Amino acid sequence: MSMRLHNLKPRPGAKHRTKRLGQGESSGLGKTSGRGHKGQRARTGSGIRPGFEGGQMPLYRRLPKRGFNNARHTVAYLPVNLDQLNQFDEGAKVDAEAIKAAGFANGSSSGGVKILGRGKLEKKLNVIANAFSDTARKQIEALGGTCEVIGAPAAAEKQDGE
C-alpha cells in the first residue's frame, strides 16, 4: 500500500480530546466551566500578562540589573563543518553563497558563516567565510587551499584598532 495524503494519520496518543466546558453539572466542568467564582480570571475577554503579580513589584523588576553581560557582544554564526565541504569540486571557490546554495548554512544570522573543524577535508578548496576555527584553517591550508575572512564583526575590528 503506497502512502498518500489521504492515508496519513497522527501517531496513537498524539491527539487528545478537547475539554468540553459547560456541558452540564455531571460532566465535572459545568456551571462555572473550570473558572471558579467571580474574579478577574472568571470574566470573558480578560487575562493578565506573563510576569504580572497582582500589582506587587514583579520579580524581573525586583532583581538588580548591573554589571557586564557578555551575551550582548557575541556574534552568532551559521556553523558549517569541513566534512560538508567535500561536496565541492577540487580547487573550487567556496563562499557563503555557495554554501547556502548547497543547503549547509540554513537560517538567518547577522554573523555570517563559520567553518568548523569536524570531519576530514579531502580536497584543495579556496574558502571564503566570516570566521574559521583553528583546526579548520589548519586542515584547509595543509591541503594547499586558502582561507579568506570577510566581513569581520565590528567588535573584533574595534579591538584591533585600539
Tell me which residue range forms the domain holding 83.
75-161
**Beta strands per DSSP E along 3-123:** 78-81, 93-94, 113-116
Task: Quickly state the pLDDT bin for 115 (edges 50, 70, 90).
Answer: very high
Residue 1 confidence class, pLDDT cut points 50, 70, 90: low
Q: Confidence band (pLDDT; 50, 70, 90) for 22? A: very high
* 120-143 pLDDT per residue, tens: 999 899 999 999 999 999 999 999
Per DSSP, which regions of the chain are E strands? 78-81, 93-94, 113-116, 126-129, 131-132, 146-149
Is residue 64 included in any domain, yes or no? no
Residue keyed to cell 475539554: 19
The answer to whether residue 37 sits within a structural domain is no
Residue 110 belongs to some domain of the structure:
yes
For residues 132 and 98, give the distance between their C-alpha atoms in angstroms, rounded to a whole number. 16
The pLDDT value recorded for residue 155 is: 45
Model confidence over 71-87: pLDDT tens digits? Answer: 888 888 999 999 999 99
Confirm whether 101 is domain-assigned.
yes
Q: Give the model confidence (pLDDT) of 40-49 as tens digits.
A: 889 998 888 9
If pLDDT is split at 50, 70 and 90, which confidence band does 152 have? low
Number of domains present in the structure of the chain: 1
Residue with cell 492515508: 7
Residue 149, domain CATH: 3.100.10.10
Does a structural domain hold residue 2?
no
Q: Give the pLDDT confidence score for residue 109 in this predicted structure.
A: 67
Domain membership of residue 114 (yes or no) is: yes
Please tell me the predicted confidence (pLDDT) of residue 41: 87
88 located within any domain:
yes
In a domain, 24, yes or no: no
